[in-house]
């Protein structure tokens, strides 16, 4: 188990010194020409510059500015699953549980759980169903989550998880949403990672798929030499089966974390019971990774 911030730190530290990194800089306009794109960039000081690039890659996450500028409005690609996800790094472990244990409390339409790490406090994760995701985002994260798990008094474990969330340095709360696109490239602009195919935390593998997808893109570009257009098209074709597989099983993956219907709740409880037996957990883990391997078979995702 690795924290996303540790993965990010490791990747950042591996960048060569010569890399030109500009913080607080946002693309405002992208105009394509036959062998490149002209990008107008705005910095935090409101200074704008226009520069030409051979290839523009939007790796700017689920709310990608590059996607909006080149491919169209979010409404065309971003699908709201009707659930919220809250997460935070807790400062302390959950009392009365060994720090290696993950805890999961589930009810219809809501789940509170922790993910244990070897060298830091657990991550607490909340997921709950909502009919008005935007209204949830307008609330303070800790208030939104507390309200979603009320109104009955909380038990001691849930209380600890809610307090751990409220007192964490940073509370993350967002809508569970998928990005679905048939084509991740247009001319000399391409999207990679969550910007292109956000799979939601329910399926997992988002960070791995972002890194593996970028690595496959570089390999494909290198193999195609100057023919950037064929390289992007080849990459798109090779990457899609894996992403489509993860997108197709979203309801199944979501139901393992948070049940939307009574039938799903029964299945989820059976699965939790099975997973608490070491031998059964091993068989389920093997079956899940076999399915992922099958989905990646033609994709050639070396890093995944
Ligand atoms: C709660 C939660 C749990 C998860 N658990 C897992 C897991 O267990 N395993 C897993 O593999 N994945 C997991 N994921 C998914 C994973 O975090 C994402 O899939 C992954 O981070 C996507 O990487 P990315 O680089 O494409 O996008 P992001 O990580 O979103 O990175 C995009 C970056 O672009 C930056 N950005 C945007 N616009 C600009 C701009 N104009 N200028 C500069 N920077 C900009 C953003 O600030 C951000 O840092 C989880 C996600 C969440 C929310």
Its pTM stands at: 0.91
SS3 label, residue 48: strand
Give the per-residue pLDDT at 118.
Answer: 80
Residue identifier of the C-alpha nearest atom 44 of ligand 1: 60
pLDDT reported for residue 210: 95
What was the pLDDT predicted at 139?
97
> Which stretches in the chain have pLDDT values below 50?
303
C-alpha span between 254 and 260 (Å, rounded): 9
pLDDT of residue 291: 64
Distances, alpha carbon 63 to alpha carbons 103, 178, 208, 220, in Å: 31, 11, 19, 26
The Cα-based distances of 283 to 1, 103, 251, 299 in angstroms read 20, 21, 22, 25
Using a 10 angstrom Cβ sphere, with 0-12 exposed, 13-18 middle and 19 or more buried, the burial of residue 63 is middle
**Which residue from 9, 27, 61, 84 has its CB within 8 A of the most atoms of ligand 1, so it is best to mutate?**
61
125-162 pLDDT tens trace: 999 999 999 999 999 999 999 999 988 888 999 999 99
CA of 63 to the centre of ligand 1 (A): 10
Full strand arrangement of the beta sheet holding 25-33:
25-33, 36-43, 48-53
Neighbours of 208 (CB within 10 A): 14
pLDDT tens-digit map of 190-214? 999 999 999 999 998 899 999 999 9
């Amino acid at each position: 188990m690795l924290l996303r911030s540790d993965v990010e730190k490791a990747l950042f530290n591996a960048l060569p010194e010569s890399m030109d990194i500009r913080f607080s800089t946002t693309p405002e306009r992208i105009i394509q020409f036959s062998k490149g794109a002209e990008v107008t960039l705005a910095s935090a000081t409101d200074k704008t510059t226009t520069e030409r690039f051979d290839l523009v890659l939007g790796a700017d996450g689920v709310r990608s500015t590059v996607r909006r500028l080149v491919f169209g409005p979010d409404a065309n690609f971003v699908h709201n699953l009707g659930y919220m996800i809250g997460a935070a790094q807790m400062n302390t472990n959950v009392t009365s549980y060994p720090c290696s244990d993950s805890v999961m409390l589930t009810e219809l339409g809501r789940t509170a759980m922790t993910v244990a790490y070897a060298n830091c406090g657990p991550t607490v994760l909340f997921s709950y169903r909502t009919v008005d995701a935007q209204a949830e985002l307008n609330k303070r994260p800790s208030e939104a989550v507390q309200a979603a798990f009320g109104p009955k008094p909380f038990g001691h474990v849930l209380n600890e998880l809610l307090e751990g969330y409220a007192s964490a340095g940073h509370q993350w709360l967002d809508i569970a949403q998928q990005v679905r696109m048939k084509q991740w490239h247009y001319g000399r602009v391409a999207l990679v990672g969550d910007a292109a195919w956000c799979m939601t935390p329910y399926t997992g593998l988002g960070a791995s798929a972002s890194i593996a997808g970028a690595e496959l893109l570089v390999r494909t570009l290198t193999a195609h030499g100057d023919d950037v257009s064929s390289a992007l098209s080849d990459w798109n074709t090779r990457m899609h089966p894996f992403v489509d597989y993860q997108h197709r099983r979203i309801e199944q993956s979501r139901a393992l974390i948070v049940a939307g219907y009574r039938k799903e709740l029964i299945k989820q409880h059976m699965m939790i019971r099975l997973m608490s037996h070491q031998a059964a957990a091993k068989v389920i883990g093997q079956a899940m990774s076999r399915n992922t391997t099958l989905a990646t078979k033609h994709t050639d995702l070396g890093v995944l």
